[in-house]
Amino acid sequence: MTLMIAAAETALLVIICFGALTGNVTLFVIIAKTPLLRTKGNLFILNLAVADLLIAVISIPITIVTIISEDWVLGEKVCTASGFFTLLTFVASCVALTMISVNRYHAICHWIKYEKKYTRGACVVYVAGMWAIIIGLSVPPLFGWAKFAYDKGQSYCFVEWSSSKSYTIFMIMSCLFGPVTVMTFCYVRIYKFKKASSSNVQSSTQHPTTKIAPHDVHRKGKVVRQSAVRSDRKLSCTIFTLVVVFVLCWSPFACIMLLQVFFDVRAPRWADFGSLVLGYANSFCNVFVYNATNKQIRSRYLRLLGCKQNRVHVGSQLRIKNRGR
């Protein structure tokens, strides 16, 4: 590796690390200081931010050190620990996105029972259970089912997938097909529910003699609060965008891994390392997603940065109270 390439790779990772670290820490500060944003839905989004922070604090700095030294110089124990935390953050992102999608599904399609299912105590249990699953999926290589090793092509320590194809298949099912199936189910049901709700609203407009309470619409004997639906639409847009960005950022990494393990295809350095950098960049991209899809978060980011913000309509701030989720 030439000095120029090493410098370019290091500079790129420093930018991603700084952006992911400051952006996700700022998100915690914003939600902590803004009562209207301390909702149950945002609680689960913060778990995704935790995974992004772990990447910025642990995985990227170690990769930078390895690039500069052009070899692994931190010892076998650090390699194992680094590999474990890198795997943990990847699994955490998958599981967090799945949990967020399930939460949105319940909030929108089963909103009548939502408050009972998602009490504060229940949310703590859900989060604890989520991290128990994340740790459970990440620890097998520490006990001999696969192993952590240095990957020169990507300049970091991670699971040596070829050491255990059974664990590789298990992780593909657990962190790829499983989450994708659950998230697809959730968003298909959400889409159908919203489409049916919109049809009923249009039908009630065409038949004004039908008795419908303000901001409510009857659907199969149930009352759907339209104000809550509008609020949920914004958060659902954020979550759906997060899922799409995650898939785009990590797909090249997953494809290269599958080709190496099952077809013995060795990717060139630029593709191998580039797929890892793109995966790391997901932690920074999420910050842009929060800002692009949420006006309240964007205005507070600008305020913290000392930028002049546009006025946020009071009605939008009042409507966010309806989330409570």
pLDDT of 193? 87
| Cβ atoms 249, 281 nearer than 8 A | yes
- Of 276 and 195, which is predicted with more confidence? 276
Closest CA to 80 of 17, 164, 159, 174: 159
**Domains in the chain: boundaries:** 3-197+222-322
| Cβ atoms 148, 162 nearer than 8 A | no
Lowest mean pLDDT among 115-129, 154-168, 211-225, 304-318: 211-225
Closest CA to 46 of 63, 34, 59, 62: 34
- For domain 3-197+222-322, the CATH architecture is Up-down Bundle (1.20)
Residues 14-70 pLDDT 10s: 999 999 999 999 999 999 988 888 888 889 999 999 999 999 999 999 999 999 998
- Return the percentage of the chain with pLDDT > 90, whole number: 53
pLDDT of 1? 65
User: Sorting pLDDT into bands at 50, 70 and 90, what band is 203?
Assistant: low
d(CA 202, CA 219): 12
Q: Over 50: is that where the pLDDT of 210 sits?
A: no
pLDDT of 19? 95
The whole-model pTM stands at 0.81
Instruction: Convert 277-297 to b/e letters by CB count within 10 Å (16 or more is b).
Output: bbbbbbbbbbbebbbebbbbb
Q: Over 70: is that where the pLDDT of 208 sits?
A: no
Give the three-state DSSP class for 209: coil
* Mean pLDDT rounded to a whole number for the chain: 84
